[in-house]
Amino acid sequence: MHGLRPDKSPISTAGRDWIRQQALPEPVGQCFEQLFRLYDFLHTERETSEQNLAAHAALFPEVKLLRTIPGIGHILAAIIWGEIGTLERFPCAAALVNTTGIVSSSYESRVVSIQVHITRQGSAWLRWALITAANCVTRSKSPLGQRYWSLRRAHKKPHVAKTAVACSVARCVYGVLKHREPFPAERWGRRSGKLEP
């Protein structure tokens, strides 16, 4: 647009009107109209999908329980529950965390022991959902958000702190599903994000 910028988002009604008022060549104007139609179509489809997901998620008590954990909404709850499957596969919370692939791998020899990058084993969708929940919770004042900021104050890098919070979210997921109770923020454990018994 030759260095010109609309005051509002180009997708908003005001932004679209502003673009249509510009003296653009006809092929460029047609491209914008195609982009607007495509955006409207995808926006409608996304809203329909989210409404369907929310309606179906209400039928499953597990999804409702997972939504009580800070950072997890109806979409992430459905993904996490679908990827975990039956909780009986995991004897403890640590087994679930190990399955996600967000734990650090280690190299050990007789002399040294080094913690290196995360293993990235297991479901990529589950790992993505937990990291996304950790990203959301860093902006809150929940116990998980406080854990993130305490790790940052301890000079941990942001991605390391978010991965640690994602591990805590996975432990909370295990506790909430195992005990079939909502996330109890007042019983938040101090070590490793575990729920107190």
195 located within any domain: no
Same domain, 77 and 153: yes
Is pLDDT at 135 greater than 50 in this prediction?
A: yes
Is pLDDT at 85 greater than 60 in this prediction?
A: yes
Same domain, 89 and 141: yes
Same domain, 89 and 50: no
Same domain, 113 and 176: yes
196 located within any domain: no
Same domain, 155 and 169: yes
Same domain, 47 and 140: no
Same domain, 33 and 117: no
52 located within any domain: yes
Rounded mean pLDDT of the chain? 84
Mapped onto helix, strand or coil, the DSSP state of residue 122 is coil
Same domain, 121 and 42: no
Nearest to 98 by CA among 71, 132, 123: 123
State mean pLDDT over 129-144: 89
Nearest to 94 by CA among 154, 182, 188, 178: 178
- Buried b / exposed e over 29-68, threshold 16 CB at 10 Å, is eeebeeebeeeeeeeeeeeeeeeebeeebeeeebbebbbe
Is pLDDT at 5 greater than 80 in this prediction?
A: no
Is pLDDT at 195 greater than 60 in this prediction?
A: no
Same domain, 157 and 78: yes
Number of domains in the chain: 2
Nearest to 197 by CA among 179, 173, 170: 179
2 located within any domain: no
Same domain, 97 and 120: yes
Is pLDDT at 58 greater than 90 in this prediction?
A: no
- Separation between Cα atoms, residue 60 and residue 85, nearest integer Å: 13
Is pLDDT at 190 greater than 50 in this prediction?
A: no
Confidence band for 188, pLDDT divided at 50, 70 and 90? low
Domain range for 22? 13-57
- Separation between Cα atoms, residue 53 and residue 58, nearest integer Å: 9
Same domain, 43 and 70: no
φ, ψ for residue 193, nearest 5 deg: 75, 20
End-to-end CA distance of the chain: 61
Same domain, 25 and 117: no
| pLDDT confidence of residue 22 | 86
